[in-house]
Amino acid sequence: MKKLLPLFLALFLLLIATLGPVQAQQGISASSTTEVQFPTELSFSLRAESAVDITQIFLRYKVNKITTVKVTSVVQLEFDPAPLVEASWTWEMKKMLGSLPPGTEIQYSWRIQDASGYQLETAWETVQFNDDRHPWDILTEGDVTLFWYRGELSFAQTLLDASNEALDRLARDTGAHLERPVAVYIYASSEELRDAMVYPQEWMGGVGFPEYGTVAIGVAPANLSLGKRYVAHEIAHLLTYQMTFNPYADIPAWLDEGLSTYAEGDPVSGYTSSLKEAIDEDSLFSVQSISSNFPTDISEAILCYAESYSVVEFLIHHYGREKMLHLLSIFKQGSSYDDALLQAYGFDTAGLDDLWRLSLGLEPRPSPPATTGTGPFGCQATSPPTSHSSLGAFAVLALLLVPGISEIIHLSVRRGRK
């Protein structure tokens, strides 16, 4: 029995310790609600009651997205202490750098304390930042869920098929695959898409949120062929992001845009003619110069996309899918551009430029070109090389088919990848 006493004592102490928070939680009752004003606001409201004054209320929330460090934000609410309080806090998206995409999941929990020191921590709940201004229909196949509200089922099915064909093309030729599900929101026009953005741009036809696994595109049912290219291109950006995400370094623009352009299928005629002209005149940009942001000049930007497609196609067709998959996996470790190429293929960016030129019937360059600048082979870098846009080719496609949108490239290159 003597030996059992310490055990009883330990159990007793454990019981006391267990009862503590339970008793505290029983002292406060609470209920909460959320309200979405898409795309600008998300409000959290709480009603809490205790036998004594409620003295402190904290809201904790975290956003479901791809990130290296899970961040929980904490907000202390302001209110007058009382036994019964109602308090709320509004997350104003205009205070963020950009919009949250539709469908973003936010988890939240409350911590409430009263004057006796009792605390209540509510269970984590989830609210979706949905754009409920439209009557969305939903279609899911594999890892892709497509949301749309205008057009027949066949319209949505065609866009979903285009998404999956792009993913199949990349899986077949590069081995790359989605690591988590993605969502595609089809707005009925670019105007209605802009209405869904906190900071809409005049030129905006679509926007990618790779860290959230979401793209939002403005496509009218009458523009189906353009829409197919849009979704194929943008969904490939989501895939590339997932395959290469790391906290250290980005991937070269020619690879990101090249894979997305490759995912579309055959290149548009504007790309083909631009590339042919540059080959004929021996005026190609170097692979080094299309590693960073593409230029603001429209015809130069089109050439950069055409070249990116060509370089990626060269790598896939001459060296095969396993090496491309290896390259992506090396980039995921945060490798530099040259180190990743050397490891996967045995040549660096300059070596790739030489071999790619040879495949096009051109001699290697006589001397190493500059990596940035505005020289004869330099794309103008408008921001650091680690930043690039997933909107670029989107923009080019829009330009090829919708005249008069000359600001697209200029604005899109400034949008950094986070």
Please name the helix (run of DSSP H) or strand (run of DSSP E) that holds residue 296, with its range, or none: none
Q: How far is the CB of 377 from Zn ion (least distance, A)?
A: 22
Q: How far is the CB of 304 from Zn ion (least distance, A)?
A: 11
Of residues 114 and 257, the one with the C-beta less far from Zn ion: 257
Q: How far is the CB of 385 from Zn ion (least distance, A)?
A: 16
Of residues 87 and 226, the one with the C-beta less far from Zn ion: 226
Residues that bind Zn ion (CB under 5 A): 257, 260, 390, 392-393
DSSP class per residue in 33-79: EEEEETTTEEEEEEEEEEEEEEEEEEEEEEE-S--SS---EEEEPP-
**Helix 153-174, helix 298-332: angle, nearest 10:** 60
Secondary structure letter of residue 25 according to DSSP: H
237, 261 contact by CB (below 8 A):
no
Cα separation, 60 vs 272, in Å, equals 52
Q: How far is the CB of 395 from Zn ion (least distance, A)?
A: 8
**Helix 349-359, helix 337-345: angle, nearest 10:** 60
The maximal CA–CA distance of the chain, rounded, in angstroms, is 97
Q: Which residue is nearest to Zn ion (CB)?
A: 393
Q: How far is the CB of 218 from Zn ion (least distance, A)?
A: 16
Q: How many CB atoms lie within 10 A of CB 10?
A: 10
Closest among 156, 157, 176 to 166, alpha carbons compared = 176
Of residues 50 and 293, the one with the C-beta less far from Zn ion: 293
Of residues 104 and 260, the one with the C-beta less far from Zn ion: 260
Cα separation, 316 vs 320, in Å, equals 5
Of residues 210 and 392, the one with the C-beta less far from Zn ion: 392
Of residues 146 and 207, the one with the C-beta less far from Zn ion: 207
Of residues 99 and 390, the one with the C-beta less far from Zn ion: 390
- Tokens coding 102: 């539709």
Q: How far is the CB of 236 from Zn ion (least distance, A)?
A: 8
Q: How far is the CB of 77 from Zn ion (least distance, A)?
A: 41
